[in-house]
Amino acid sequence: MCGVFGIFGHPEAANLTYLGLHALQHRGQESAGIVTSDGQQLFLHRGMGHVIDVFSNEQLAQLQGDSAIGHVRYATAGGSFLKNAQPIAVEYSRGSIALAHNGNLTNAEALHEQLEERGSIFQSAADTEVVIHLIAKSTQRLIEDRVADALSQVEGAYSLLLLSEQSLIAVRDPRGFRPLCLGRLPTKDGGAAWVLASEPTSFDLIGAKMIREVEPGEMLIIDAQGVHSRRPFLPAPKRMCIFEYVYFARPDSKLDGISVYEARKNLGRALARDHGVEADVVIPVPDSGVPATMGYAEQSGVPFELGLVRSHYIGRTFIEPQQSIRHFGVRLKLNPISDVLRGKRVVIVDDSIVRGTTSRKIVKMVRDAGAKEVHLRISSPPTNWPCYYGIDTPTRAELIAASHSVEEINQYVTSDTLAYLSLDAMIDAVLKGETPPPEVEPSLPGGAQRHLPLATGRDRFCHACFSGDYPVSFTPHPRQRQMRLRDL
């Protein structure tokens, strides 16, 4: 998982990108990077760690120019090395170009091999370097045609930002697996800069206004002439990742017209309706489980309590790789409040079970704190299949639900009862999170009249990790390419 941010036409491009990335920090904490353009050349700085640690004021000042793109990264492939940090920036025949990518290409490995056979060299393990090679090798003249040419050869999930000396290009794959939003930020001189981000929370932070989503299959070219929209790809059914709503996106984001917060509350309501249980309290696994738990409480009448307190000095569950601390399991992150739990029948609401080990520790922790019964409720179906579209799930062999029944999982995690939401119930709940769209300006400068075409029904989402229904073909057991080069 990654987050991207871009801005065009603002004198404080680097500073605003820094802030925009900060608001996307939950999407990746391994590395951060910014590339700016002053119209003549690109300026790049990247580093390992949180946005706040990677950039000093001095470095931001050196990132000159009024356009920029930025990236926060959580490793999907290639390991935790600086060279895999994004954006990637290179020189090629038409100048220089930088690329920030959120997603995963399902044919990256094949393209990588073909490119190498044609004489290309690779300095990183990132999909992004494949795309850059394809752009550089395109025989098209215009940068937007080169990008379209390159992307017509790739498959999978991508929400991309490209920065050249003169333009900023945003592209979302035809199915729109990953979100990408367009916004606008007034400048002091009465004009307005264009901004792009994985989630609209970035816009909130810098005071920009959400305009609309970049649509699946759409390419936006932003330059001195304004914004141009193109649709260079064959149309395909929209398949936005449903797990963004369940877990990944920030609750204050609205993606594709659906409020993440409302969707999560609905998931909890559905859990209570379909899998209610006699209980004294319902508690979330914080922070992601809070809205679903509120929905559960509201629907069921079981009082909502904070039975587990979270320490916020660590980071998200599956993101921090500090091995020396890991063996303390969930304890570094969660601590029970015994007075809330002692002698109670407790419902715990969580968003998913991956390997089962964390759930098992949480159940034990709650029981040790005095709970009389522990009922685990999951606001999504069993995670049965790996994601090939950008979420870093383990192999199928490691997914407990791929080889165990719900009852077997219940026994493993030692809960009294365990229930998952059904696929249909999850989809219904998320769809009900749809809220009236904000008033959109009738026309975008330089772009065509927009109709925000909300797809409908369950096919609006990718739910392959739950259903195995993969919208884009992929090599079933893709040999995870072993880098032959390790940059220490």
Provide the annotated active-site residues. 2
Are the C-beta atoms of residues 29 and 319 closer than 8 Å to each other? Answer: yes
Whole-angstrom distance, CA of residue 429 vs CA of residue 381: 12
Q: How far is residue 183's CA from residue 197's CA, in Å, rounded to a whole number?
A: 8
Of 350, 345, 456, residue with least CA distance to 413: 350
CA distance 387 to 104: 9
CB 245 within 8 A of CB 433: yes
Written as six digits, the tokens of 219 are 């390419």
Q: What is the DSSP letter of 247?
A: I
H or E stretch including 169? Answer: strand 168-172
The neighbour count for residue 303, using CB atoms within 10 Å, is 13
Q: Which of residues 41 and 395 has its CB atom nearest to a copy of itself in the complex?
A: 41
Please identify which residue in 11, 80, 116, 424 interacts with a copy of itself, judged by CB under 8 A.
Answer: 116
Q: Which of 67, 86, 167, 201 binds a copy of itself (CB under 8 A)?
A: 201
Q: Which 427-486 residues touch a copy of itself, going by CB under 8 A?
A: 435, 482-486
Tell me the closest approach of the beta carbon of residue 280 to a copy of itself, in angstroms.
Answer: 14
Residues 304-343 within binding reach of a copy of itself (CB under 8 A): 304-306, 309, 311-315, 322, 324-325, 328, 331-332, 335-340
Cα distances from 155 to residues 150, 164, 386, in angstroms, run 11, 23, 17
Smaller CB separation from a copy of itself, 449 or 486: 486
State the binding string over 150-179 for a copy of itself (x if CB under 8 A, else -).
Answer: ---------------x--------------
Considering only 22-30, 188-196, 231-239, 408-416, which stretch makes contact with a copy of itself by CB under 8 A? 22-30
Q: Residue 328 or residue 405: which is nearer to a copy of itself going by CB?
A: 328
Angle at 49 between CA 48 and CA 54, to 5 degrees: 80
Residue 63 within binding range of a copy of itself, rule CB under 8 A: yes
Can residue 290 be called a binding residue for a copy of itself (CB under 8 A)?
yes
Of 91-99, 170-178, 418-426, 463-471: span binding a copy of itself (CB under 8 A): 91-99
* 177 close to 240: Cβ distance less than 8 angstroms: yes
Q: Is 225 in the site for a copy of itself (CB under 8 A)?
A: no
Using CB under 8 A as the binding rule, whether residue 192 contacts a copy of itself is answered as no
Beta carbon of residue 369, minimum distance to a copy of itself (angstroms, whole number): 9
For the beta carbon of residue 436, count every other beta carbon within 10 angstroms.
Answer: 6
91 touching a copy of itself, by CB under 8 A:
yes
Q: Which is nearer to a copy of itself, 34 or 170 (CB)?
A: 34
Q: Does 188 bind a copy of itself (CB under 8 A)?
A: no
Residue 288 and residue 253 in contact, taking contact as beta carbons nearer than 8 Å: no
Using the rule CB under 8 A, is 262 a contact of a copy of itself? yes
